Amino acid sequence: MGRSLLGVVVGVVVGFLIVGLVETLGIRLYPLPAGVDPTNPESIAVAMGDLPLASFLFVLAAWFLGAWTGATTAMRIARGTARWPGLAVGGLVLAASLFNLLTIPHPLWFAVVAVIGLVAVTLIASRPVGAVIRAGE
């Protein structure tokens, strides 16, 4: 149980660090339009229509990579057969993403891809370490 809890804590730190780094890279490559206040959700909401597709793809990549690396880190540290450490980390990334989606209006396609993708990535990354995918499973 101790290793599993440690795995969750380290996995959350790693996952959210990855999200932050990839989102920062995306913002550097595709900055917000001039005059947008990044601390004001209403200002960002107004700018959503002017953002290029690549900026949305960077955010998706950040969330998916964060959930993946966080969940796999948790599972590697936990070393057990239980999936809950990885699911907990992925669930926290999903919760943070849902908060973002509810706070700042996003295009519908983005919200759908984000939620489905985060659930899929978390389920795949939360397989016990050493689990083998067999044909037909």
- Structural domain span for residue 112: 2-125
Q: Is residue 131 part of a domain?
A: no
Q: Is residue 44 part of a domain?
A: yes
Q: Is residue 112 part of a domain?
A: yes
What's the confidence (pLDDT) of residue 91? Answer: 97
Q: Is residue 32 part of a domain?
A: yes
Domain count, the chain: 1
Q: Is residue 132 part of a domain?
A: no
**Cβ atoms < 10 Å from Cβ of 21:** 13
Q: Is residue 67 part of a domain?
A: yes
Give me 113's structure tokens: 């891809």
What's the confidence (pLDDT) of residue 128? Answer: 84
What's the confidence (pLDDT) of residue 109? Answer: 96
Q: Is residue 136 part of a domain?
A: no
57-80, pLDDT tens digit by residue? 999 999 999 999 999 999 999 988
Q: Is residue 89 part of a domain?
A: yes
What's the confidence (pLDDT) of residue 49? Answer: 83
